[in-house]
Amino acid sequence: MKYKTTLAVLAFLALAANAHAQSPREQLKQMVGQLQKSPSDSALREKIIRLALTLKPSPALPDEAERRMVRGGAAFNGATSAADYQAAAKEFEQATLAAPWYGEAYYNLGVAQDKAEDYDAALRSLKLAALASPGSKDAEKLSYAVEFRKEKALSGPDFSGCWQDSVSAGMKRCYFLFERNGDGWMVKELSGMPLKIVKAQGRQLWIENDGGRGTTHYDLVLSEDGPEIECAYYFSQTAEQVDKMRREMGVVPNSETYKVSHFKLTRK
């Protein structure tokens, strides 16, 4: 029994010594693998960055990180909408997973997220960029600008609350229900279905609902003093949707976008 116990102790000590003998670069590789399984682990990202800063020479960049940076740059340069910038951000995010110590990848990610108006995410990325590039002030300076844009967005037009027309008011329901969603808005229609905000500009919002028979478009303008929304309601269909309605309902709708109605909404 004593002999078996001694062997067990020796085996344990050998394993402990092997773990302790692991080189910093081996530790880095292991931690990167862990992060790729748990990309949202910010604490682990910071540990990786701090470890990488101690290595001389610096860790080599994997080909995947460089590939994602080039793809992200192409997406960013061709971007014309928030969705386009989000696509660029996804590429830069993959670069940070391939090389979690790469400060430039975090910086580019923060820039793309800022352009996509995802200000909280941009600030997190820029914090990591500053940590990974301690000699650079670029990330810190940009974070100040992002903070300003975030505050401005939060203090912008107030669409919050339950908005009604005469019909929905009689039903004691909301035609549109606006709620804060981070730095933007989440909106639901009368049925409770969430709608897609296509564009926001000042007091104007463009929202859509894609249905089986066509797409409903709403152009909303909030009045200066805030009690009313002017709402223009449009409907559009593809040629295939027109054919479907003709077969199922016996109607022949216009295949182009056309205005259905214009009405006002008041906040409950």
Reported as a single tens digit per residue, the pLDDT across 205-233 is 888 887 666 677 888 888 876 678 888 87
Domain check: are 140 and 202 in the same one? no
In a domain, 1, yes or no: no
Q: How confident is the model at residue 63 (pLDDT cuts 50, 70, 90)?
A: very high
pLDDT of residue 27: 95
Judge contact between 96 and 102, C-beta under 8 A.
yes
Q: How confident is the model at residue 15 (pLDDT cuts 50, 70, 90)?
A: very low
Percentage of the residues of the chain whose pLDDT score is greater than 70: 79
Question: Is the pLDDT confidence value at 195 over 60?
Answer: yes
pLDDT of residue 211: 67
pLDDT of residue 31: 96
Last residue of a domain, one of 154, 183, 215: 154
Domain check: are 138 and 166 in the same one? no
Domain check: are 59 and 148 in the same one? yes
Compute CA distances 240 → 185, 218, 237, whole Å. Answer: 32, 22, 8
pTM of the model: 0.58
Widest CA span in the chain: 92
Rounded mean pLDDT, 165-193: 83
pLDDT of residue 2: 47
Domain check: are 79 and 182 in the same one? no
Q: How confident is the model at residue 1 (pLDDT cuts 50, 70, 90)?
A: very low
Number of domains in the chain: 2
Question: Is the pLDDT confidence value at 194 over 90?
Answer: no
Domain check: are 134 and 169 in the same one? no
In a domain, 18, yes or no: no
Last residue of a domain, one of 101, 125, 154: 154
State how far the Cα of 179 lies from the Cα of 197, in Å rounded to an integer: 12
Q: How confident is the model at residue 51 (pLDDT cuts 50, 70, 90)?
A: very high
pLDDT tens by residue, 106-155: 999 999 999 988 889 999 999 999 999 998 999 999 999 999 988 877 66
Host domain of residue 211: 161-267
Domain check: are 96 and 180 in the same one? no
Compute CA distances 22 → 34, 82, 240, whole Å. Answer: 16, 44, 62
Question: Is the pLDDT confidence value at 258 over 60?
Answer: no
In a domain, 16, yes or no: no
In a domain, 52, yes or no: yes
Last residue of a domain, one of 154, 185, 213: 154
pLDDT of residue 160: 84
Where residue 199 falls (left for φ over 0; alpha for ψ -120 to 50; beta otherwise) is beta
